[in-house]
Amino acid sequence: MKVVVPLETKEREKRVALTPDVVKTLVQKGFEVAIEKSAGLKAYVADEVYKEAGASIVESKQDLYANADVVLKVNPPEPSEVSLMKKDAVLLSFMWAATNPELVQACAEQGISAFSVDAIPRISRAQKMDALSSQSNLAGYKTVIMAADALGKIFPLLMTAAGTLKPAKVVIMGAGVAGLQAIATAKRLGAVVEVSDIRPETKEQVESLGGKFITIEGDESIKTGGGYVKEVSEEFLKKQQALIQKHVAQADIVITTALIPGKKAPVLITDEMVKSMKMGSVIVDMAVEQGGNCTLSELNKTVVKEGVTIIGESNLPSLLPMNASELYAKNISTFLLHLADKDGFKWEMEEEITKGSLIVHKGEKLIG
């Protein structure tokens, strides 16, 4: 089978779906691999290095897609890209299918099959395929580094002859993969860290990393599944805001990570809460692409409002393209090797990983 990797066209994207080490592994397993010219340059991988790993370099995107049995991407393709794929080809990428019906329809009309990386079930045997976690891990780290750079003070306690500098106080909202990495990074830099999460089972993880858990009593409106919060009521969100307001007002940095799959991000930081914060403090809104956890954040902008710096970077993993590409390449190649070998796809339709992640099968939509 011929596996191809196109150049990512999304704005602000620097990642690439395969790295040379992973190309070498796939070639050894009998796959033919082709890379679009310059696909890896923003991740600091030259075309020559791909050639040395056994891949061919293709100049034209049209030629690349026309000969592809399998297309590996990071971001969801545009419908115009899908139209370049041959019938019965297979796409593996992030798809966010629940909120991207046009892409699902385009795949069906083209007669291809499409697997969504973000729909891989969160089970133990799929951990090596879990691109959501690998990318969120890096995002959590980068978030703290960006916040530290924007803050006009240091993180750790510092005792000098001229006086003692108090440690920075960081409040992190959400103790998922990104939140936990943010806790660990902020603690390593010497900050005092407080964490809120509506899932009480995260308390032990937070405390094991040295964070102080802000206890919020849940209610029946909270629905979870696969490690994620699926649904929460407006009434509960207001209760949560009221409880954490005093913590936010005292914080030097607030990092928000709350997302609900397929829905607008919940509002955690209101205009009034921003006004209550100290002059010079920093907010990083990791949910800005889904509407934002902070009412004053702006997509792909860093703004100062009420004396507070608010960072709204939508693609944090892309700011670490070398590591992000390396991890994603291992995730997606493990996924591919689970689904197929050099001779073709297994199509084990009742197998849990296949069933959970297959969005379109040979032109037939399996969702929506």
Dig out the tokens for 2 from the structure.
Answer: 């011929």
Confidence of residue 222 (pLDDT cuts 50, 70, 90): low
pLDDT at 224: 52
Dig out the tokens for 245 from the structure.
Answer: 């307001």
| Neighbouring-strand partners of residue 360 | 114, 365
pLDDT at 148 over 90: yes
**Model pLDDT for residues 94-118, shown as the tens digit of each residue:** 999 988 999 999 999 999 999 999 9
Confidence of residue 219 (pLDDT cuts 50, 70, 90): low
pLDDT at 44 over 60: yes
Ranking 96-100, 259-263, 273-277, 345-349 by mean pLDDT, the lowest is 259-263
Q: Write down all domains in the chain, each with its CATH number in brackets.
A: 2-119+320-363 (3.40.50.720), 139-319 (3.40.50.720)
pLDDT at 229: 54
Residues identified as active-site:
122, 127, 130, 133, 228
Q: Distance between CA atoms of 298 and 268, rounded to whole angstroms?
A: 15
**Model pLDDT for residues 229-262, shown as the tens digit of each residue:** 555 677 777 777 788 999 999 999 999 999 887 7
pLDDT at 237: 74
Global confidence as pTM: 0.92
Note whether 139 and 317 are within 8 A (CB).
yes
Q: Distance between CA atoms of 343 and 2, rounded to whole angstroms?
A: 10
Alpha helices for the chain (secondary structure H): 20-28, 47-53, 61-66, 79-82, 101-110, 131-150, 177-188, 203-208, 234-250, 271-276, 321-339, 352-357
Q: Distance between CA atoms of 287 and 140, rounded to whole angstroms?
A: 12
Q: How far is CA 9 from CA 13, 80, 102, in A?
A: 7, 12, 18
Return the CA Rg of the chain: 22
Q: How far is CA 209 from CA 143, 189, 195, in A?
A: 17, 13, 11
pLDDT at 368: 63
What is the mean pLDDT of the segment spanning 296-313? 97
